[in-house]
Structure 1
Amino acid sequence: MQKRLLALLLLSISFLVQSQNYSIIYGKMNSFSNDDLNKITDVNIKNNVINTMNSFKFLEYELIINYSCARFNYIEKLDSPNINPRAISAGGGSGIHFFDLNKNLTIHKTELLGDTYFVEKKIDSYKWNITNESKEINGFICYKAEADFPFDDFRGKGVIELVAWFCPQFPYPFGPDIYFGLPGLVFEAYKKNTAVKFYLKKIKQLDEVNKIDFPKEEKISEEEMTKIFNKTMNDLINQN
């Protein structure tokens, strides 16, 4: 039944995705409790955590959908108070994500110590497990999906479990940050056993959207990016 539902929803994408343009605004929240804070004994670390948490309420990210393409990025606001830079990237959200459904391709523009990289990945690269769990978010029925995100870098080897709540009524395989490839727009997303999550703030249908220009720079794979990341971090460690 689940496979049949997935197939039907994927078929609907090719029809509906051609007719709508949207601006999707996401916020970021932190479920770090006072009990968790009280367990932090280092005053400097505790103050940094509090500062980061206070910054979350001012953060907004936008996913622009233009037919079969999309772009996700952090929204910089001139009138925002001082925001802890760590809050922007905490739990994801740094850089710019580009999506091209026709090419089944996503490109992540990211920086590492001042250098810019463009990392390619297939939109359908995740093996999502769509569960039977559902809940209402902003008046729409959403379904829970889970996927493993393996990592192997200088910090060690393991798997991060991704959780996303998606809405089939918006049959776009896009979402915030690294949460994509589902038969519906992602409304809520987080890494399991972490305190930070993306949540949907508002959806606005647009009459017209400027063309999304994809990066023309040289692209690299996730594996290549991991090698660059490992070398950079190891070089920094060896310098100290």
Structure 2
Amino acid sequence: MKLSVLKPFSLALAIMFVAFSFGQADFQGKAYYQTKTTMDMSQFGGGNRQVSPEQMKRWQERMKSFLEKEYTLVFNKEESIYKEEERLEAQGSGGGFGGFSSSFTGGPKYKNVKEKEVLQDQEFFGKKFLIKDELKNLEWKMGTETKQIGQYTVFKATATKPVNGFDWRSMRRRGNNDRDKKAENDSTEAKKSGDPMDEVEIPKTIEVTAWYTPQIPINQGPDDYWGLPGLILEVNADRTTILCTKIVMNPSEKDNIDKPSKGEVVTQEEYTKITTQKMEEMRENWRGRGRGGRRN
């Protein structure tokens, strides 16, 4: 990576220039992000059948709207709201996994860094939940490496992040890092059970790299990420990249930063338990149908 040459005086001058704006009582900013998750669809071919290139291409097209999204982060000195930009789906696109995908896509996420509070709307198989919990920070390791994102100088920080529940963004085939006898055995077990999820695993932790800018000295960032001495403009978390494409400081028309309020109130731990139990029920039902089919 080509590193930018940091000019301390210029950076300090820029920070002093924007400090006045941040000191205003009604200060607000809006950052636009693009997210992309890479997924090797060939590894989920089902183990017991071959997928043609044409079918794989159709899968990838249908998955695009699920794997590539746009978000906005509206923030002030203490609060932020992170939500997906609405867009029309092309007819027949299926919205990724169709209705199934909405069960794993969260609604607006509110963070209050002063009160250490996080709230998020979440729908899971038609039921609405409101996840309310303590805002937990990652144990960031501060680096010295820098680069440019647009007009901003950003600094590198890294952390290890626990994965909560069924996070599809880190889903991978078992033995994917050891494509030999183990992967073959896993596919054989999936055939026996009739459950393709037997081929899938989700790691307990993932490695995260964040790039933040002290030119916007706000303790905020997209999605779950915050806790650095500057707005986070880029995140690389396992197979997902979140990149800021535009920032508007003190827009003439300000957005409301409202707390989500609809749905059954649960903690993150309670929600993870609910979703895990539901997925296990679905797997048992799938296995039952598979066993019934083999007996006929």
Same fold (TM over 0.5): yes
Q: Tell me which interval the TM-score lies in, with the shorter structure as reference length.
A: 0.7 to 0.9
1:107, CA displacement in angstroms? 1.3
Give the match's secondary structure for 2:96. helix
TM-score, with length taken from structure 2: 0.62
Larger radius of gyration: 2
* Residue 235 (structure 1) aligns with: 281
Give the match's secondary structure for 1:238. helix
Out of 176, 198, 213, which is 2:258 matched to? 213
Give the match's secondary structure for 1:224. helix
Aligned partners of 1:93 and 1:175: how far apart in 2? 18
Out of 125, 128, 146, which is 1:116 matched to? 128
- Matched residue type, 1:49: Q
* Residue 211 (structure 2) aligns with: 165
Aligned partners of 1:216 and 1:37: how far apart in 2? 36
* Residue 5 (structure 1) aligns with: none
- Matched residue type, 1:85: G
Structure 1 unaligned segments of length 5 or more: list them. 1-8
Alignment of 1:63-212 (within 5 A): 63-78=73-88, 81=90, 85-86=95-96, 94-151=106-163, 153=165, 158-192=204-238, 194=239, 196-205=240-249, 206-212=251-257
**CA 1:46/1:117 → structure 2, altered by over 3 Å: closer, same or farther?**
same
**CA 1:31/1:152 → structure 2, altered by over 3 Å: closer, same or farther?**
closer
Q: Is 1:26 aligned to 2:36, yes or no?
A: no
- Matched residue type, 2:236: Y
**CA 1:30/1:151 → structure 2, altered by over 3 Å: closer, same or farther?**
closer
- Matched residue type, 2:63: T
Q: Which has the higher helix share?
A: 2
TM-superposition CA deviations, 1:205-232 (whole Å, max 9, x none): 2135243221345532221111111111
User: Is the contact between residue 74 and residue 81 of structure 2 (CA under 8 Å) also seen in structure 1?
Assistant: yes
- Matched residue type, 2:27: Q
Give the match's secondary structure for 2:30. strand
Aligned partners of 1:163 and 1:18: how far apart in 2? 32
1:49, CA displacement in angstroms? 2.2
* Residue 6 (structure 1) aligns with: none
Aligned partners of 1:144 and 1:84: how far apart in 2? 37
User: Is the contact between residue 73 and residue 93 of structure 1 (CA under 8 Å) also seen in structure 2?
Assistant: no
Q: Which has the higher strand share?
A: 1
Structure 2 unaligned segments of length 5 or more: list them. 1-14, 167-200, 287-296
User: Is the contact between residue 153 and residue 230 of structure 1 (CA under 8 Å) also seen in structure 2?
Assistant: yes
Which has the higher mean CA deviation after the structures are superposed, 148-157 or 19-28? 148-157
TM-score, with length taken from structure 1: 0.75
1:137, CA displacement in angstroms? 0.5
User: Is the contact between residue 147 and residue 162 of structure 1 (CA under 8 Å) also seen in structure 2?
Assistant: yes
CA RMSD of aligned residues (A): 3.4
**CA 1:228/1:109 → structure 2, altered by over 3 Å: closer, same or farther?**
same
**CA 1:112/1:17 → structure 2, altered by over 3 Å: closer, same or farther?**
farther
1:234, CA displacement in angstroms? 0.9
**CA 1:128/1:212 → structure 2, altered by over 3 Å: closer, same or farther?**
same
1:38, CA displacement in angstroms? 8.4
User: Is the contact between residue 211 and residue 232 of structure 2 (CA under 8 Å) also seen in structure 1?
Assistant: yes
User: Is the contact between residue 74 and residue 255 of structure 2 (CA under 8 Å) also seen in structure 1?
Assistant: no
Q: Is 1:47 aligned to 2:47, yes or no?
A: no
Identity %: 24
Give the match's secondary structure for 1:52. helix
Aligned partners of 2:227 and 2:94: how far apart in 1? 30
**CA 1:221/1:168 → structure 2, altered by over 3 Å: closer, same or farther?**
same
Aligned partners of 1:96 and 1:225: how far apart in 2? 16
